[in-house]
Amino acid sequence: MTTRTLRRWFVVHKWTSLICTLFLLIVCVTGLPMLFSEQIFDTFVGDDDPPYEVLPPGTPNASLDVIVGKAGALWPGQIITQVSPDDDEPAVLVSMAPSWQALKDDENYPDRHSGHWIKFDARTAKVLEQSRPATAPKEPRTWTGIILGTCTRLHMNLFAGLPGALFMGAMGGVFVASLVSGVALYGRFMKRLPFGSVRRDRAVRLTWLDLHNLLGAATLVWALVVGFTGLVNELQTPLFGLWRVTDVRQILRPYASLPVPSQDHLSSVQAAFDTAARAAPGNEVTGLSFPGSPFGSPVHYVLWTRGATPLRAHLFTPVLVDARTGDLTGAYPMPWYLRFLEISRPLHFGDYGGMPLRILWALLDVVVIGVLVSGLVLWAGKRKIATDARLRALGYDPDEADELPALAEATR
């Protein structure tokens, strides 16, 4: 590698690292509680649901039509928007609202929320819990919820919505560039030193540099994976938007002008679940949206199915069932870019391997924080002279030499 090339790598690494360091620190710090959000919430908030009835093993679930009918009887005049079986408990969540228009109007009023939900025991169809309707006083938020919510919004978009998400995605790209340039520099640095060397008998600054390089090399693969998947995850809104204006619009075009039928005259919800299960064999049905949803069809139940294995559990296939007749319209696997997005999301947060992998992710996160802090220390203590001037002070002419000395010696 020539002097000119290595100098360019040095400049790229320095500036890409400086540009993204503050935002990476925010991401790393807020990511730690997000890794264990379920455990934190269960510990400090707990579950206030009434205990489930003890029933004989193998007791079948109640029909979803019975549950939907009870929800409608509890709130006459309101519509049902979604039906979602719980993944971990024998429960079904029914979401309701005054109307679809009320939910649409809520978008213009961040402090207003017209929707509410009812939680049923899936086996007995008894009500377990309800959220308060929009007209009742707001439920007080817990400190745990406030802290976790703040961490999530900072991590994802810095409280700036889509522009903030795209900005954080750009920072993820800059971070990947800093890692690649760091590899190019570290390869030359290791040419004269054993791997993992930390020279404690030299200047303190040199020790910091060795630690920075060692920790960076040790977490390189993980940092590349998390940085790249973080970039992809920040693109979820435009990617789903692309899917809606291309594939989804084409599928729903024949039905776009049809009126939304009254929910009193819709076909069986339970039958729609059964139809979707047959249309996507090997998948489990995770939820159903009623006709009229802004992101659905005016005349279809939209059912979401996902793979039943850990590897395929994040790959979703939507199924359309005509809510007027109960007939299957079709199953539509997501395009490749959304499948890639769904696979990268659990990899970013360490969701594939349960608690052991989350603990490993947390440890590596702490190490990366150390890399960022050590990089800031090195930059803050650096003498404010040009890189070439530092090289000349060591007796090397950057304009004539074919190679640079070890990076550690050049930045003492």
| Domains located in the chain, CATH noted | 46-141 (3.10.450)
CA distance 262 to 291: 9
pLDDT band at 112 (very low <50, low <70, confident <90, very high): low
Task: Provide mean pLDDT across the span 40-46.
Answer: 78
Query: Which of 28-32, 221-225, 371-375 is the least confident region?
Result: 371-375
Q: What is the pLDDT of residue 401?
A: 44
Question: Which range has the top average pLDDT, 6-20, 38-52, 109-123, 185-199?
Answer: 6-20
Q: Is the pLDDT of residue 402 over 50?
A: no
The CA-based dihedral angle spanning residues 96, 100, 102, 106, taken in that order and rounded to the nearest 10 degrees: 90
Q: Is the pLDDT of residue 383 over 60?
A: no
In the chain, % of residues over pLDDT 70: 86
When comparing pLDDT for 79 and 131, which is higher? 79
0.85 exceeded by pTM = no
| Average pLDDT in the chain | 85
pLDDT band at 312 (very low <50, low <70, confident <90, very high): confident
Which residues share a beta bridge with 406?
none
CA distance 177 to 17: 9
Q: Which helix (H) or strand (E) holds 173?
A: helix 161-189
Half-sphere exposure for 56 (CA within 13 Å, toward CB): 3
Query: Which of 295-299, 303-307, 404-408 is the least confident region?
Result: 404-408
Task: Provide mean pLDDT across the span 294-316.
Answer: 87
The CA-based dihedral angle spanning residues 345, 349, 354, 359, taken in that order and rounded to the nearest 10 degrees: 170
pLDDT band at 398 (very low <50, low <70, confident <90, very high): low
Q: Which amino acid is at 2?
A: T
Query: What does 88-145 look like in DSSP terms, one character per residue?
Result: SSSEEEEEEES-HHHHHHHTT-TT----EEEEEETTT--EEEEPPPTTSPPPPPPHHH
Radius of gyration, alpha carbons of the chain: 27
Q: What is the pLDDT of residue 407?
A: 43
Q: CA 389 → CA 100, 181, 209, 225, 376, distances in Å?
A: 67, 21, 19, 36, 21
Residue 286 DSSP label = E
pLDDT band at 48 (very low <50, low <70, confident <90, very high): low
Residues 131/125, Cβ–Cβ less than 8 Å: no
Q: Is the pLDDT of residue 160 over 50?
A: yes
Q: What is the pLDDT of residue 270?
A: 97
Task: Provide mean pLDDT across the span 196-208.
Answer: 75
CA distance 306 to 315: 6
Mutual angle of helices 37-44 and 143-157, in 10-degree steps:
160
Q: What is the pLDDT of residue 315?
A: 85
Query: Which of 70-79, 160-169, 208-217, 339-348 is the least confident region?
Result: 208-217
pLDDT band at 5 (very low <50, low <70, confident <90, very high): confident
pLDDT band at 194 (very low <50, low <70, confident <90, very high): confident
Q: Pairing relation of β-strands 283-289 and 127-130? A: unpaired
CA distance 252 to 48: 41
Which residues share a beta bridge with 116?
96
When comparing pLDDT for 299 and 378, which is higher? 299
Query: What does 376-403 look like in DSSP terms, one character per residue?
Result: HHHHHHS-SS-HHHHHHHTT--TTT-SS
The alpha carbon of 28 is separated from its chain's Cα centroid by a whole number of angstroms, namely 14
Task: Provide mean pLDDT across the span 25-39.
Answer: 92
Task: Provide mean pLDDT across the span 238-246.
Answer: 91
Place of tokens 């599928």: 251
Given 3-state DSSP classes, what are the helix, strand and coil percentages for the chain, each rounded to the nearest 5?
55, 10, 35
pLDDT band at 135 (very low <50, low <70, confident <90, very high): low
Q: What is the pLDDT of residue 215?
A: 87
Long-range Cβ contact pairs of 220-228 (< 8 A, separation 24 or more): 220/179, 220/182, 220/183, 222/361, 222/364, 222/368, 223/175, 223/179, 223/364, 223/368, 224/176, 224/179, 225/347, 226/348, 226/361, 227/172, 227/175, 227/176, 227/179, 228/172, 228/176, 228/344
Q: What is the pLDDT of residue 405?
A: 43
Query: Which of 231-240, 248-257, 341-350 is the least confident region?
Result: 341-350
Q: Is the pLDDT of residue 189 over 80?
A: no
Q: Which amino acid is at 255?
A: Y
Q: Is the pLDDT of residue 216 over 80?
A: yes
The alpha carbon of 124 is separated from its chain's Cα centroid by a whole number of angstroms, namely 34
